[in-house]
Amino acid sequence: MKRLFYSIFFTIILFFIPIEVSASAIAVEVHDTIYKPGNIFIFEAKIDSVSKNTHHSCYIVMRVLDKEMYHQGVITYDYYDSLPDDLAALDSTSSIDQTGFIETTEILENSKLLWIHPPRTHGFGLLQYYPFPEIRYPVKIGKKYKRSFLSFNDPLCQCTLLLRYKMQYLSYSQWKYQNRLVEICEQSGFAKSKRGSFSVTYRYNERLGLVEAIYDYNNEVRIRLSLINVL
């Protein structure tokens, strides 16, 4: 599993190129740090495959560590088939990966930017092809920007794969978190390639951070991550 995980970074090259396109000024104040060391974010994850007629669900636990890597914060992802009744017992609950491997990656959060590396193992490798969850402060509804992904000899098509995403902050709306409604900012993006279409929707809350991510690949595979708890 470790060998597979490391190969992601050596076979795929990412270019995240911020290009400002347009903006209409509806600004949000910069808020306190969301992803503090010690915090735990629990997501319900679902993968639906139309072509294979399969449905898979699990829980992804993101932990924020008190350390840095490449001048960024460090987070871990662990995957669970089910959650214990007492969430404090998560550390003692067996995860899906019986080898003890826990995915470790980075997060960047400051007064101008929140940028999260998504989970990319245990069936979620497809998320590597999408712009990582990102929000720039102050938020401006209508603002557009571009992100690009480039991979040589990509395993998805055995070719050079270039994806040019057009991203946009769409609107403010409400989203149900536990038993209450919270205000969220929604952004979406789309790219086309020789392998078909890629679309993504991200939803953020000023206190909870990323609350939902919806990924669609060519209308064949849909992945949804929904925040269900913060510890």
| Predicted pLDDT at 178 | 96
| Predicted pLDDT at 21 | 41
| Predicted pLDDT at 145 | 95
CATH architecture assigned to 2-230: Beta Barrel (2.40)
| Predicted pLDDT at 52 | 83
Locate the domains of the chain by residue range. Answer: 2-230
Question: Considering the entire predicted model, what is its pTM?
Answer: 0.86
Per-residue pLDDT of 152-187, as tens digits, reads 999 988 899 999 999 999 999 999 999 999 999 999
Residue 10: φ, ψ to 5°:
-95, -20
Could you tell me which residue, 5 or 30, shows the higher pLDDT?
30
Most confident of 21-30, 100-109, 182-191: 182-191
The average confidence (pLDDT) of the chain is 86
Q: What's the number of CA atoms in the CB half-sphere (13 Å) around residue 72?
A: 14
